[in-house]
Amino acid sequence: MNTELSNARAKVDEFLGYCQHPLLGRSMHVAAVWVAEDAERIGEEYDTRKLAAVLTLALQRACEAGDASGVDLYAAKLLAVLSDLADLGDEDQAADVNACVAALPLYRVRLAQACSAARREAAHV
């Protein structure tokens, strides 16, 4: 593992620790998502799974706070990441993606499709 990836993974763990702070936790989830996205860009499947975990925590926090736009954003990003994992051959994720698509409102599915398109475009740059 190269130093850049090692540092990026350590930063994700650091920001996840900050997420436990009672006052700053919500804003730290935003930062944790950013650093997890950066780690995933230079990493491998492990980092994609870590991003999914970070997005899940951010989604839970947005739900608890009643943050509708945060719920929309994190749900869409999470579905896009899970879809990528399914594309890598993870059959459990494929089943979960199908269940989510069936249960989510159409606008969230469309948002997830836009996130997926952005992820594919970024991966080919």
Q: Could you give the CA distance from residue 93 to residue 71 in angstroms, rounded to a whole number?
A: 20
Residue 9: enclosing H or E segment and its boundaries? Answer: helix 3-18
Q: Angle at the Cα of 15 (from 13 to 16), degrees rounded to 5?
A: 65
Q: Distance of alpha carbon 49 from its chain centroid, rounded?
A: 8
pLDDT digits (tens, 9 = 90+) for 19-76: 888 777 777 888 889 999 999 998 888 999 999 999 999 988 888 889 999 899 999 9
Dihedral sign computed on CA atoms, order 29, 34, 59, 50: negative
> Three-state SS for 84?
helix
Nearest to 73 by CA among 84, 61, 86, 85: 61
Would you list the domain boundaries of the chain?
3-123
Tokens of 120: 């594919």
Per-residue pLDDT, averaged over 88-110, amounts to 82
pLDDT of residue 98: 83
Mean pLDDT of the chain: 86
